[in-house]
C-alpha cells in the first residue's frame, strides 16, 4: 500500500458576514498522505440539471485523522471532494473516505 498523495482535510466554520448573511469558511483540520482510488463517474439529475459526479476513495491511516466526519471535505488536485461516507478497517488501522465533487456543465 502506497500512501503517496498529499491531501488536506478541511472542516466547515459558519460565520455571519458584514451584511448578516451566513458564510462558510474551510480551515485546515489535517494534512495527511493517502492512497487514492478512482471510482466510476456518473450523472446525477438533481433539480432538473445534469450534474456530473466524479468519485474518489481516499485511504488514510486511522492515527492520522481518527475524528474525520462526513461534514468535512478534502482538498486534492485543485478540487474539493465532499466526504459522503467513512469506512473503518480496524484490524489494519485504516480509514477509507468515499468522496465526490460536482462539476456544473
What residues contact residue 44 under an 8 Å CB cut-off, 6+ apart? Answer: 50, 51, 52, 53, 102
- pTM comes to 0.80
User: Is residue 64 helix, strand or coil?
Assistant: helix
Domains annotated for the chain, with CATH where assigned, are 5-104 (2.40.10.270)
Residue 6 predicted with pLDDT over 90 = yes
CA 43, 53, 84, 86 dihedral sign is positive
What Cα–Cα distance (Å) separates residue 62 from each residue in 20, 43, 46, 86? 39, 31, 34, 11
Q: Is the dihedral of CA 36, 7, 87, 84 positive or negative?
A: negative
pLDDT at residue 32, rounded to an integer: 97
- Our measurement of the distance from residue 21's CA atom to the centroid of its chain's CA atoms, rounded to an integer in Å, reads 25
The mean per-residue pLDDT over the stretch 9-13 comes to 97
pLDDT tens track for 18-77: 888 999 999 999 999 999 998 865 555 555 555 555 789 999 999 998 899 999 999 998
Residue of 97, 1, 2 whose CA lies nearest to 58? 97
CA 13 from chain center: how many Å? 16
Amino acid at each position: 500500500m502506497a500512501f503517496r498523495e498529499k491531501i488536506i482535510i478541511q472542516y466547515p466554520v459558519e460565520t455571519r458576514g458584514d451584511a448578516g448573511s451566513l458564510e462558510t469558511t474551510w480551515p485546515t483540520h489535517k494534512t495527511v498522505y493517502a492512497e487514492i482510488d478512482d471510482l466510476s463517474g456518473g450523472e446525477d439529475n438533481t433539480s432538473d440539471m445534469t450534474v456530473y459526479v466524479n468519485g474518489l476513495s481516499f485511504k488514510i491511516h486511522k492515527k492520522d485523522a481518527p475524528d474525520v466526519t462526513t461534514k468535512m471535505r478534502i482538498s486534492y488536485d485543485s478540487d474539493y471532494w465532499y466526504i459522503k461516507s467513512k469506512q473503518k478497517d480496524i484490524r489494519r488501522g485504516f480509514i477509507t473516505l468515499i468522496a465526490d465533487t460536482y462539476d456544473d456543465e
